[in-house]
Structure 1
Amino acid sequence: MIVNFRVKNFKSIKERIELSFEAAALNNLRENVIDINTVNEKEYNLLKTISIYGPNASGKSNLIKAIDFMKNFVITSNSLNKGEKLNYKPFRLDEVYTNLASEFEVDLILDGILYNYGFSSNEKIIEKEYLYYYPKGRKATVFERENRRNSIENNIEDFKFTIDKTRQDFFASMTSTNKLYLSVSTNLENQLTEKVFNWFKDKLVIHTTDISNEWNGYTTYLINENKEKKKILSFLKGADFNISDISTMEASLDDEDDFIKKVSNIMKEDAFKKLISSRDYIEVKTTKAGKDSNGNNIEVKFDMAEESDGTNKFYELAGPFIDMLSKGNCLVFDELDTKLHSNLLIFLVMLFNKNKTHAQLLFSAHNTSVLDQKYLRRDQMYFTNRNSDNSTELYSVYDFPTEKSSSNIMKRYLSGRYRAIPFIDEELVLDSILEAINA
């Protein structure tokens, strides 16, 4: 499970900010917290869900993109060519920071052991990288790495190992200055690093606004393979979509289909050939209760494409959500509330709050229905806001000590008590825009 995430100098994030899943000393909604015992019998109380709210352009998505960046860099780092430039996105509104490394760090509990992993990098090299763990309650070093000069040509890179030093020295010799040691050594079957690497690869799942049809296809795959159909159907029934059954069937595109005719006019020839060479696809049908002309009960089938955007969004989420809850994954989801009724957003959040599989959910949203202490604790409600220098700041309702378990968080958030709402200059709009329009 994830304990903490920290990032500095990435996109709109200038100074170091921390998102913590460590539960505060609150008595309400204890079911939203899972207690984890480490091997040295130290107990951690970790939150199952965290929400992020704030105005547009305040950094909600950039925080999620920072987590996504860390995951992707860990997974793909080993495939980089020597000397290849890194994906470096510093805070650009202060020239000092455009010459500083971006920093990423995460604390994890894996198989009862606390791990601390992090790195800092610029566009050319990994400046620092480290992995510590606490197998007996005390900090132990798996590896430390530091590049003392900020260039590839003149770098002096130091590695420090206290465990399995001979093998790790060999792994280090295979690690170029633009690659993460965690990735290279795991690829070379270093068991000391593979648990952390595998968490990024298998347990951390991120849904950004760039993802569209991938999740929809996964739900369809689970139904078509008859793996989770019963659960997915319950998922949709529970959301009151009036769907009594769902089925899939293999279909194929025909030369006379309107779809084929339309895309043939807009796609490049080679791409069109690829499309029609693999015409088979899976068609999804929903079944709903209806009446015949005599008033008798009948079943009516619909194409999934005929369903509402909200139904399609919920269908898209059904397979992955069920799968991640059952596997105890950590899901990070940007704009979870898009196309969903407020009650459906609450339903999804409560699924994670009530789970007992160690699954965790971090999500951003604008729909404030879940900002209620019936559903979330004060330490589960985070906000992003813009500082005076337009950098992102991050804090939670728990950081406001005057708030109590009886406080109306939604009302106070919308009133601006936590600052994380947009300031709309109505006078500017009226004077400069409507005046011109009305004229």
Structure 2
Amino acid sequence: MLVDFTVKNYRSIKEAVTLSAVAQKSTSRRTSQRSKRQGIKSDAEITPGHHLEGWDINILPVLAIFGANASGKSNVIQALDYLLMLMAHGNNQTRKLQKVSNYAKVTPFKLDNISAKEPTRFELRVALDESIYTYSLILNQSHIISEKLDYTSPDTKRIRRLFERNWDKSVNNFIWKNGSDFAGSHTKLQQNIRKDELFISLISRLNIDVVKELCSWLRIRLPGISLGIEETDILFIANELNNDDSIQIEIREQIMEIIKKFDTGLAEIDIRTQIEYPDDYEIYAVHHTSDGNKILWSFNEESLGTQRLLSLAYRMLFALQGGGLTIVDELGTNIHPNIVSTIINMFQNPQTNPNGAQLIFTSHDNTLQRNNLLRRDQIWFTQKRLDQSTELYPLTDFRMSNDLAIDKAYLDGRFGAVPFLPSNEEMILKGEK
């Protein structure tokens, strides 16, 4: 499970910002008896989070980021997705993924002459099998500057270094340090690693006990933050589902079960291989007519919402089954708010999410902020600083009553993260004199 993520000098992010999934301690605050808004749940009642044994902390299953257009909320999750792609797939594969993810490259903050020449920094903390792994990476557009991996077990709480490398300009090479827990033949790979390749991406393909859980968590996540309407995304799903083995058939059935519950009218999907191009697939939507017959048409003719739901259902299924992480940009686009709320509750409920899967998303839909759906420490905001860089902060930075209508207060600008718009008079175009 993701504990927290920090990024500095990436696209609109100049100063370091941190997105944390650690639940804040519950308070005894209750709704006033005089309030007209009764029945407001406490944060713990909305979701207790996943308790991390030995650490006395709970990890939140959902994080939501809201903010004005161009405030940088997408850049926060793009940075996280980019780092996870690098760690799991390496630099070469990430470049291929760049074709469908134009953010999959190192781009520093360009509105400052100093930052434009500085490297990008990432730090990721992940809790797996009761241990916490901390991965740090500093890189520029040409090579890795620093890379290190630590882990901490719950019994000692002592940070143990697994490996570390730092670029030494004087010798034009890396200086390596390995911890005693990381000894083995795999360290020989360090001698010939390219200066732009992540070492974690190499060892993620090996069976090394001390990092096995971390590498497994990286591999089960589907890269990308978009949903469904891009042709490459649809073709990827078709390729994955166009398999007659029992696992893929079961996955296809479970996906259809999810989509049917969302009242799309879709009976099933039919994936066919093109005769002229055996490696290409076409997805057809199957519907039932009023007399019980089947009729099908190209899945591209379905609504954008249904197309996004297919992609989302596929990603959700993998995350919920394996305890993985799903990252979605603009979750509410083309999808009814009631469906989005149902999706969030599937991650919030320990019965439907027993393996600690997580969902991180951005949205403009303020109805998702209404009480009883998200805890206050699950709501985050982005806004522009004076220098046009991104600021990220949680709702819990603000003092408020338990019965506050958060969605209305947000639109009123109480928490920032809303656009500054001109008045109606200023919007009137001046005519010719």
**TM-score in terms of structure 2 length:** 0.81
For residue 339 of structure 1, the aligned residue among 327, 330, 334 is 334
Determine the C-alpha separation between the residues in 2 that align with 1:412 and 1:87.
Answer: 37
- Cα distance 1:238–1:435, how it changes in 2: closer, same or farther (>3 A)? same
Whether the aligned pair in 1 keeps the contact of 2:74 and 2:362 (CA below 8 Å) is yes
Deviations along 1:334-393, one digit per CA (max 9) or x if unpaired, are 111111122122122122112222110000111222111210000011111000111000
- Residue 130 of structure 2 corresponds to residue 112 of structure 1: yes
Q: Does 1:407 align with 2:404?
A: yes
1:206 match: secondary structure = coil
Tell me the equivalent position of 1:313: 308
**Whole-angstrom CA distance in 2 between matches of 1:114 and 1:4:** 11
Is this contact kept in 2: 1:35–1:43, CA < 8 A? no
1:58 counterpart = 2:71: yes
Q: CA deviation at 1:146?
A: 2.0
Sort the Cα spacing of 1:189 and 1:405 in 2 relative to 1 into closer, same or farther, 3 A: same
Whether 1:370 aligns to 2:368 is: yes
Q: Report the Cα distance in structure 1 between the residues aligned to 2:74 and 2:300, rounded to whole angstroms.
A: 29
Inter-CA distance 316–178: structure 2 relative to 1 (3 Å threshold): closer
Letter in 2 for 1:17: V
Q: How far is 1:65 from its partner?
A: 1.4
1:301 maps to 295
- Please say if 1:103 is aligned against 2:118: no
Inter-CA distance 307–75: structure 2 relative to 1 (3 Å threshold): closer
Provide closer, same or farther for how the CA distance between residues 17 and 337 of structure 1 changes in structure 2, counting only shifts above 3 A.
Answer: same
Query: Is the counterpart of residue 141 in structure 1 residue 181 in structure 2?
Result: no
8 Å contact from structure 1 (residues 102, 121) kept in 2: yes
Q: State the alpha-carbon separation in 2 of the partners of residues 249 and 329 from structure 1.
A: 26
Q: Is the 8 A contact 1:246 1:286 kept in 2?
A: yes
The offset of 1:64, in angstroms, is 1.4
Q: Equivalents in 2 of 1:425, 1:209: separation in Å?
A: 33
The separation in 2 between residues aligned to 1:97 and 1:369, in whole angstroms, is 37
**Would you say the 8 A contact 2:228–2:311 is kept in 1?**
no
State the shift of 1:187 in Å.
5.0
* Cα distance change on mapping 1:50 and 1:350 into 2, 3 Å: same
1:68 to 2:63 alignment: no
Distance of aligned partners of 1:249 and 1:378 in 2 relative to their CA distance in 1, 3 Å threshold:
closer
Aligned residues of 1:215 and 1:317 also touching (Cα < 8 A): no
- For 1:28, the aligned partner's letter is D
| 2:420 aligned to which of 418, 423, 430 | 423
User: Helix, strand or coil: the match of 1:228?
Assistant: helix
Q: Secondary structure at the match of 2:7?
A: strand
1:133/1:142 contact within 8 Å kept: yes
Is the Cα contact below 8 Å between 1:205 and 1:330 reproduced in 2? no
Counterparts of 1:47-196 in structure 2, within 5 Å, are 47-77=60-90, 79=92, 87-135=105-153, 136=155, 137-149=157-169, 154-155=171-172, 157-163=174-180, 164-165=182-183, 167=185, 170-187=188-205, 190-196=208-214
Q: Answer whether contact 1:33 1:48 (CA < 8 A) is retained.
A: no
For the Cα contact (< 8 Å) 2:222–2:315, is it kept in 1? Answer: no
Moved more, 10-19 or 123-132: 123-132
Secondary structure class of the residue paired with 1:345:
helix
Q: Give the distance between the partners of 2:427 and 2:339, measured in 1 at CA.
A: 37
CA contact (8 A) 2:220 2:318 kept: no
> Structure 2: which 5+ runs fail to align?
27-41, 94-103
> What's the TM-score, normalizing by structure 1?
0.80
Which structure has the bigger radius of gyration?
1
- Secondary structure at the counterpart of residue 64 of structure 1: helix
- Aligned-residue RMSD, C-alpha: 3.0
2:251 paired with 1:228: yes
- 1:262 aligned partner: none
SS of residue paired to 1:203 = coil
- The one-letter code matched in structure 2 to 1:123 is Q
CA distance in 2, matches of 1:308, 1:8: 38
Provide the C-alpha distance between the structure 2 equivalents of 1:424 and 1:223, rounded to a whole number of angstroms: 49
1:240, CA displacement in angstroms? 2.3
Cα distance in 1 for partners of 2:24, 2:66 equals: 19
AA partner of residue 395 (structure 1): Y
Instruction: Mark the CA change 1:157 to 1:309 in structure 2 (over 3 Å): closer, same or farther.
Output: closer
Partner of 1:397: 395
Q: Residues 228 and 188 from structure 1, CA distance in 2 versus in 1: closer, same or farther, beyond 3 angstroms?
A: closer
CA contact (8 A) 1:287 1:301 kept: yes
C-alpha spacing 1:218/1:238, structure 2 compared with 1 (3 Å): farther
Q: 1:36 to 1:171 in 2, by over 3 A?
A: farther
C-alpha distance in structure 2 between counterparts of 1:249 and 1:210, whole Å: 16
Q: Secondary structure at the match of 2:286?
A: strand
Partner of 1:240: 263
The count of residues paired between Structure 1 and Structure 2 equals: 396
C-alpha distance in 2 between matches for 1:175 and 1:213: 35
- 1:46 aligns to 2:69 (yes or no): no
Instruction: Tell me the distance in 2 between the aligned counterparts of 1:211 and 1:250.
Output: 19
1:193-204 equivalent positions in 2, closer than 5 A: 193-203=211-221
Percentage of identical aligned residues: 28
Change (3 A) 1:42 1:213: same
